[in-house]
Structure formats: structure tokens, C-alpha cells
Structure 1
Amino acid sequence: MAKLPRVPKGVLPKAPRVPPPPQLKPFSPRPAQSQPGPPTLEDRSVPRTTAQRVWDERPKAADFRRLSPEEMKAPQHVARVQRWRQWPLMICGIAAFGMGLYAVQMYVSLTQEPEGVEVPEDLSDRFDSEAEGYDEKVDLAETMLRVSARRKEMARKARGHVLEVAVGTGRNIPYYPTKQCATVTLLDSSAPMLAVAKRKWKDTHPEYFSRVFFKQQSAIDPITPPYGAQDGYDTILQTMGLCSTPEPVKLLHSLEAATKEDGGQILLLEHGKSHYEWLNDILDKTAPNHALTHGCWWNKDIGKIVEESGLEVVDIKRYNFGTTWWVELKARKGMRKQLVERVEEEMGVGKAPTAQSRSWWSVWR
């Protein structure tokens, strides 16, 4: 068999040279750095917001202990520290501007005396027109004076059958511990205010809506407890209610008549006179205009009102130069029965029928 001729060496193409695979270096933890390094694979897997990234880049106390004096003088480190110093200054500046603006507005509105207008003692009708925008009007003031925190603290004490008087738009509703409450009765004389409170309760505690009752009446009138609480309410709450009633002592007696004598509690959060006479002079001067605008007299002596009522005082605390009063009261033994009998006598309940008031069927006896 004939042999095939060999192919010359220069004719065949050379095979491409394949580079060897790269050798992986053993993993070693990254040393601590004074400046944040590039994001790792783990960081890339978890999305972070801009605020989180900025917060992670903040100067830490460990950086100042670890860095040398030369590193602390580095332009990058100095720029980072200066950038973070701007945040507290900016926040304090905005807060100071807001407080100053609020103080100026309050001063201008309160120092304007109502000319030619006689301010009545009872201004409860003012709440009907302010119901829808009331929360927005008082939010800033109550936050700055920590009244909202006091509301939350007081509402947490509610238990058993609960009555809240002067509920207004229901500013205490978000803080109610519904698991501690058998029933809740919300009472106010203003129908528009009560409508806002009803809507707020339905949005906040929809699962508890079947055990809450809404009553439109004055708290001075007799208050009928719900079924199961014939002995009275276990807890009665009132926040900023004595300032808007012309008969505060009679109101406290009405609350006492509705309170359970054994273990019942009356909790009040009110604003009134201060510890200081100079502040009381300001409150007295601005009270008529404030009452004409907001419907409440904020210069009442809460301590004197409580003393005249004769209720048993459990605790009294005062905040905000003494103008915010926290009062815990207790019903007196035997007074509930006396007050109920007195009210029934004034209303003519239980009297024997007279000759003029006999029914038509009495002649057949």
C-alpha cells in the first residue's frame, strides 16, 4: 500500500494556547478601615435606603479612639465630621424657628382684647364650629407641652367600665387599652365633636366598636351607666373639661355620682392657674380672648374647684409651670346614693302623685 506524503511543518495551524486557570487566594477578613469601603456582596444583596447609608457613614466614637492624630486631620475625615455637625444645628434651628413663630402668633392673638364684645361664661357652642379642624389646631401646642404624652399615660389607667366626659374629637381614643375595658362610654355635649370621635374610634378600634357607647349630653346632667355597671363606672376620664363648663363643682359631683364607690377612680387632666403670679397675670389678661376663640377659660383655679367639690384626693401633679394639672380623685362613701337621691328630688322622680296629676284610671279604684 502506497504511503501518503508528509505534510510540511509550516502548513498545519498551531493550536491556540489556553492560559492556566487563575488561582483563588484564600479568604481573609477585611481589616477595619477608618473610611467606609466599597459595598460587599452581602451589602449588595440587601437594598438600603439613602438614610441608612448616610447613617452608616456617620463618625463613630470608635473612629476617634482608633485613628491617629494624622488620620484625624485628613481632609476626608474632617469633611465627614463637619458634614455631620450640620444636622444637629439644622434641626435645632428649625425647632427654634417653629417655636418662635408659634410664640409670636400666640402673643399677637392673645394680646388683642375683644373690643365691645361681652364674653359669656358658657362657650360650649364654639366646639360645634371647630370640630373638623380642632385636631390640627391643637396638635402642635399639645406636642410641645407634652400634653399628648400625659393623655397617653392617663388613658392607660382605664379599666373595667369606662366613662370619658368631654371626649371632644376623641384625642384619647388611640391610647385606650381596650383589653382592659369591659365597656367604654364617650360623652360630649357637642354633636359635631362626637361625630368626629365616633369616626376616629371606628378607624382605631374597629374590633371593639360593639362595646362602645356614644352619648350626646351635658356631664352636669345625670349619667346612666350601661348594663352591668349599675354600681357605677370603674374609671372616669376627663381631659380639658373643667375649663369649658360654667359649673365645674357641679360637674365633679355629677362624676362622683356616676363612679363606683369600691375601687372607682376619677382621672382629670386640666389646664388652669400656674405656680407663678406673673404667669397667672398673663393668663387672666388673655383668658377672655382665648375663651372667645377656643371656648375654654384657661385661668381657672383647678385646686380650688377640687377642694370645693369635697371629693377625696388621691394624687395631684402639675406640669408646665403648674398650668397643666393631673388630678386623681376617689368617690366618697355613701355620697353616690345621696347625690342620686338629690337629683331625683330635683327632677321630681319618686314623688307621690297629687290630685292634679292623678291618672284617668285612678277614679275606678
Structure 2
Amino acid sequence: MQPLYGSTSCTVVRTVTHTYRPMRNSYSLLRRVHEGSHLIRRHASSQGPNRSRKPVTKPLPYQPTQPKAADTQQKQYRRNEKAPLSDLMRERWFAMLGFGTALACLGYFTTSLTMYWRTEPAPCYPLGCEPTVPTGRPSIQSPYEFDMHLDKSEWRYGITRLRRELGASVRGHVLEVAIGTGRNFEFYGWDAVTASLLSPEEQRKKTKKQGKSSSDDDAVLSFTGVDISPGMLDIALLRVRQVVPHMSSEIPKKPSFAMLASKYSDDKDGKSHGHVVSLLSDRIRLLQSDVSSGLPSPPAPPSPSNSAPSTSSLPQKYDTIIQTFGLCSVQDPVSLLSTMAASLQPDTGRILLLEHGRSIWSFVNGLLDRGARQHHERFGCWWNRDIEVIVTEASRRIPGLEIVRLERPGWTTAGTHVVVELRVTKQQQGEIDAGKKEKATGWFPSVLSTKQATDESKKSN
């Protein structure tokens, strides 16, 4: 057995031991011990640990299995990447069979679908000749389920961003046609509308913060929303309470339009506009009415005293008329555009539209045509109408109506969504007011609607 510190260290220890007997001076003994320990440390550091001994391996509780010859050959094939085709077929036949079956099924499905689309074209109905009249109201889902369904889909396809951009352009006396559940309310500027609810101190702070450069030209002075569904208006009232500042005390937590509505008095033209909920002295109005029968006039501004406001100060036209996804839900969209143009302030007023319809790609249009009936049964609108053709023909038929902007934003909607901005020139405003008295079917061009010709052919037969 090898000594712990080698032969040199043992020699040093023996020398110190033998020298101790005759030694009488303790100082010399301590010095020799110190030299011996220093010699031991230097000798140990020069040799290092003994690495020649191998660690003792403990026996395993089981006997390891030896690799088979087939496994070794397979690893060798994988390493060289030159395995024969026969061996490859024998080893991976199941995966190749599954992949081939899936590829054959996909090819059969694609071929069958292509042959079906060529032999059975999708039904595309002319405007106004759809088998059922659009209602704009969901029939399968409740209004609350319908509103929750739109939350994620609109964010995913970029519709929320488009609503925000349109809301930033709204100003003056605003009319929103087919408000639905009020999904545009959170993008409007309500500061001027709710200014009467602020205390004098809050008004001074607000004026000081905004500065003298701020004006009411780009602010919303009044808001009027029209829809035909009372269930949608219930959610719109709830959204007004949540979005509009200082309105939580004006509207109950669970509002009901039927309970809050009162009979709206006849307007100057003698037309009744249905039930209405008026808030903040008519600065915010929600009406249940059919827009095909007419649009309400803007509200009168609140007078500072008990004196009645002069007729010249009453607003006769709206500064902004906005509609999102409404032309697909009416039977005569051109007549609706004519009614909106007659209620718009000439030159300075704007009509803002966000619609969905036919795309610029025929493949997408085929998908829209095939799913039009199911979409109408679920949501009550025809989503395969050509909005660009409708707006272009309306600008040609309605005097003074001009297209300021018509674009298809974003690529996530496959070109199916259209943003339109319209205006009315002041010279042709009188002709529009005169044409407003005509029937709604009178605005249908022969290119877009063949309903009258179809009825005449049936009578002749």
C-alpha cells in the first residue's frame, strides 16, 4: 500500500522525531517542525491527486439489453443516408400509406368541389330581387349574443380600427342610421354634449386645459340614433351609460328602451318618428323607427332663457350622417342614400359609410354567393351586394351627390369591406328635396333592379 504523503514526507517525520531527543532548545524544535510541514505541503502539491485509480463501479440491479442487429443497421442507414428503397418501404410503410391516403382524399375533395362549382353556379340575386326582404335583425341569436359574437371578429378583421377612424371624423349635429347595439359610441367625442353636466369648477379646469385654440367646430353638438329593433336599442342604451361621460346617473343599470321611451311628438313635416328616448334636453336621442319612412330633423339647441329659439337658429340639416353595415339590411339602398342626402348639410356635410359586400376577387364572391342565404337567415342581411356599384349608381341618379372617397382598406377582409365618404353640393340641394317626395322604387335604376320588369312579365304570362 502506498503511503499517504510518499517516502519523502516519512523521512522528514523521522528526522524530526530523532532530532527531538537530544534537542533542548524549544525554538529550534518549532523551526524544524515548520520546515517539515512546509516540505510536506510542497511535496503534496507537486504530485497532485492520484488519478491512476479507477472508481469502483457498482453492479446494476438489472442486466442491460444488447442492441439488436436490425437497430444497429437502421442507425447505420440513417448515418449514411443511403438506405435502399426496399428497406425504406419495409420500415416506413405505415406512415407512407397514411400520407398517400390523406393526399388522395384531399385531391378528390378539391376536384369534386371544383366540378360542383362549375356545373352548379352560385345564385346571385339582383338588387331588390332577393327571395326574402332583409331585416337587419338576427333571427337565431339574441341581441346580446349577437353583440358578443362581434367583439372578437371585428377586432380580428380590423373593423374596430375602421370604426375608430370614422368616429374621429364625426362632428356637429350627428345622425347615425341603423345604430344596432351602439358599437360606434365609444369613438365619438362627447365632451360638448355632456358639458352641461359639469360643475362650474370642472368647466373652468377643462377650459384652462384645452386652451383658447379649442373650438366646437369639430365637436359633437348633438347625437340622434335610429334603429328598428328595440332589443338592439336596449344594448345601445346600456352602452351610452358605459361610454358617454357622466351618464351613469341618467340611465339605470339595466335599461329598457320600451320602459324609457315616450311617444315622440310629430315633427314639422307631420310625420311620426316612433318611440324615442331623449337625454340631456334632446342632445342625445335614440329612436325606434324605420328609416325608409323618413329621417328625423336635428334637435333644437337649448335656449339660455325661457324665450323660444328663433327659427333661423334651428338646425335644418345634419353635419354628419354615419352608417355602418346598413345598406345590406334594407330593401332599397339607393332610396336610403337619397333620404340621407336630403337630410345632409350641403357642401360642408358628410355621409360616412362602412359596408361589406362583394370583393374584387371572383373566388371570394363565389363564397359569398353560396353562403348568402345562410348568412341572411342568421343575421338578416345580404352580404353579397355590390356596394361600389350601388354608391356609384346613387351618385349618378341623385342630383348633387358626389363621392369624396371610396376605398377598400386592409387585406384581412379579402376586399369585401368598403369605406365611402359622400357630400352634397349646394346647387343641387333643391332638386334633392323635390325628389325626396317620390316613391322609394323610383330611385331604383334599371341596371340594379329588375323587380318591376319581372312583375310585368309575370302579369303578361
The verdict on a shared fold, with TM-score over 0.5 as the criterion, is yes
Answer yes or no: is the 8 Å Cα contact 1:290–1:297 preserved in 2. Answer: yes
Residue 146 of structure 1 is matched in structure 2 by 158
Distance 1:127 1:169 in 2: 15
Q: Which moved more, 1:222-231 or 1:306-315?
A: 222-231
Q: What is the CA distance between 1:130 and its match in structure 2?
A: 2.9
Aligned pair in 2 of structure 1 residues 281, 128: CA closer, same or farther (>3 Å)? closer
**2:303 paired with 1:218:** no
294, 300, 306: which one pairs with 1:227?
300
Answer yes or no: is the 8 Å Cα contact 1:119–1:292 preserved in 2. Answer: no
Whose radius of gyration is greater, 1 or 2?
Answer: 2
Distance 2:381 2:420 in 1: 19
Q: What is the CA distance between 1:122 and its match in structure 2?
A: 2.2
Q: Secondary structure at the match of 1:220?
A: helix
Aligned pair in 2 of structure 1 residues 186, 128: CA closer, same or farther (>3 Å)? farther
Q: Which moved more, 1:120-129 or 1:225-234?
A: 120-129
Distance 1:248 1:127 in 2: 21
Residue 244 of structure 1 is matched in structure 2 by 329
Q: What is the CA distance between 1:344 and its match in structure 2?
A: 4.6
Aligned letter for 1:191?
P
Aligned letter for 1:154?
L
Distance 1:312 1:127 in 2: 36
**2:180 paired with 1:168:** yes
Aligned pair in 2 of structure 1 residues 217, 243: CA closer, same or farther (>3 Å)? same
**2:238 paired with 1:199:** yes
Aligned pair in 2 of structure 1 residues 340, 129: CA closer, same or farther (>3 Å)? farther
**2:374 paired with 1:289:** yes
Deviation track 1:42-75 (CA, whole Å, cap 9, x = no partner) reads xxxxxxxxxxxxxxxxxxxxxxxxxxxxxxxxxx
Q: What is the CA distance between 1:346 and its match in structure 2?
A: 6.3
Distance 1:336 1:195 in 2: 36
Structure 2 unaligned residues grouped into runs of 5+: 1-121, 123-129, 192-218, 248-278, 302-313, 396-400, 441-461
Q: Secondary structure at the match of 2:375?
A: helix
207, 222, 233: which one pairs with 1:183?
222
Aligned pair in 2 of structure 1 residues 293, 170: CA closer, same or farther (>3 Å)? same
Distance 1:233 1:145 in 2: 31
Aligned letter for 2:300?
Y
Residue 331 of structure 1 is matched in structure 2 by 424
Aligned letter for 2:226?
L
| 1:58-97 equivalences in 2 (<5 Å) | none
**2:408 paired with 1:318:** yes
Distance 1:223 1:237 in 2: 13
Distance 1:317 1:120 in 2: 29
Aligned pair in 2 of structure 1 residues 230, 346: CA closer, same or farther (>3 Å)? farther
Answer yes or no: is the 8 Å Cα contact 2:346–2:424 preserved in 1. Answer: yes
Answer yes or no: is the 8 Å Cα contact 2:358–2:387 preserved in 1. Answer: yes
Q: What is the CA distance between 1:335 and its match in structure 2?
A: 4.2
Q: What is the CA distance between 1:258 and its match in structure 2?
A: 0.9
| 1:30-41 equivalences in 2 (<5 Å) | none
Answer yes or no: is the 8 Å Cα contact 1:127–1:190 preserved in 2. Answer: no
Distance 1:333 1:257 in 2: 11
Residue 384 of structure 2 is matched in structure 1 by 299
| 1:95-114 equivalences in 2 (<5 Å) | none
Deviation track 1:291-327 (CA, whole Å, cap 9, x = no partner) reads 1111111111001110111130001110322111011
**CA RMSD between the two structures:** 2.4
Q: What is the CA distance between 1:262 and its match in structure 2?
A: 3.1
Distance 1:339 1:192 in 2: 34
Aligned letter for 1:168?
G
Q: What is the CA distance between 1:119 and its match in structure 2?
A: 4.9
**Shift >4 Å, 4+ stretches:** 344-347
The TM-score, its normalising length taken from structure 2, stands at 0.47
Residue 89 of structure 1 is matched in structure 2 by none
Q: Secondary structure at the match of 2:148?
A: helix
- Name the % identity: 35
Aligned length: 232
| 1:273-288 equivalences in 2 (<5 Å) | 273-288=358-373
**2:308 paired with 1:269:** no
Answer yes or no: is the 8 Å Cα contact 2:140–2:378 preserved in 1. Answer: no
Q: What is the CA distance between 1:337 and its match in structure 2?
A: 3.3
Aligned pair in 2 of structure 1 residues 125, 315: CA closer, same or farther (>3 Å)? closer
Aligned letter for 1:194?
L
**2:168 paired with 1:156:** yes
Distance 1:126 1:150 in 2: 23
Answer yes or no: is the 8 Å Cα contact 1:221–1:254 preserved in 2. Answer: no
Aligned pair in 2 of structure 1 residues 193, 120: CA closer, same or farther (>3 Å)? same
Distance 1:221 1:153 in 2: 30
Q: Which has the higher contact order (CA 8 A, sep 6+)?
A: 2
Structure 1 unaligned residues grouped into runs of 5+: 1-112, 348-365
Q: What is the CA distance between 1:203 and its match in structure 2?
A: 2.0
Distance 2:391 2:285 in 1: 28
Answer yes or no: is the 8 Å Cα contact 1:127–1:193 preserved in 2. Answer: no
Answer yes or no: is the 8 Å Cα contact 1:128–1:190 preserved in 2. Answer: no
Q: Secondary structure at the match of 2:143?
A: coil
Aligned letter for 2:406?
I
Answer yes or no: is the 8 Å Cα contact 2:138–2:146 preserved in 1. Answer: no
